[in-house]
Structure 1
């Protein structure tokens, strides 16, 4: 187990799957908070608390867990004072107010009045703006400590994405650069002369979302998240590759 003190309020612990098995635990047991992990987590809590100078009377010690692609577990321990708690609350409140301003009933009614592709595009645009506002809750600014993002990452759920391509070669190039990201369940569809790749992105505590969007900007005509258009494509388009589409597309370039 490697414990790194990142700053005065944050400690990062990395534990290999093999180390957990040596003490009779598994990564899944840690992530699910099973009863048999309580003694280990209590010991870890004490160790990081000592490193951070944690005062249980006046401070809160937040612990969040991520399971990495190799099966190891990364745990962030963040010490929060009343000032930190207030900053987090103010940031979340501000984002919530911005979301309410974005999703006015007038705008919803305008979307409902549209038809066909325009309706889906307008809805996707609104959802995209709201998603950006939600992401701002987790973004750190110059005055905020790094622990805020580390604490927020685990509560981000998996997201469904769909990328639209003008040809199969563009889809293959996208697959080559995005294959290393924590992506599951990728499929390839074709409708008319366009190709669509659907996938699920697993948050891993790093910048996977931004890396995926960068790939989309470079190779795709459009990259959509949780889009109603994806449901339409999945129901009406021809599914060419039903499993591991990114792997098969990537291999096309090697031939």
Structure 2
């Protein structure tokens, strides 16, 4: 059995717009080992989020189109899965934390109920069991279970992001895609959230793809790093190696920016 939980081979993604074709991802190759945290680093528009949404098969189509390649998760090709099959995988085996916690939560539903629904959707459990799991997850991310019945507007940005993380990890996913998970937070809260994510990852044994433009986040959280430029990985290695010996001019530019 492969030690890789995810393998991406020659992924090509295009966006067909009124102004022409945008080549977002151009023959990208990537592997993530079980239990590994890999940083996917690059500036805005490099194609990082497109890669994550391709894995989840949630690209807006149109205008997006996956034109080629394979995405192998646990030995199975995600590209051949039906939408019904993908619904069972999303939020269960693979979860995603999106950039903006404000848009990821339903503003008119209690935060606890939103986590409970995620648990109930993917597990054969009673409503009471799902609610117990939701309370456990809230406690795990540092939110007292007494706040189960509160609404998103009653939480700060940092607390909202904790709720999102609780929801993403509630079903013990094998792979977590974290898309700029702390961008909307101030530096102090950012450090707390990243530390909490690291603790949860170690506790649950989750593999993580950390999408970011922030090399500080990579240094703190990741085992390895893949530098993305114009839809391709131009440099890949351990965090230690890339930080000590960046070889591509774009990578050197990221360090100097």
Normalised to the residue count of structure 2, the TM-score between the two structures is 0.28
Higher Cα Rg, which structure? 1
Structure that is richer in strand per residue: 2
Structure that is richer in helix per residue: 1
Normalised to the residue count of structure 1, the TM-score between the two structures is 0.28
* Greater RCO structure (CA 8 Å; 6+ sep): 2
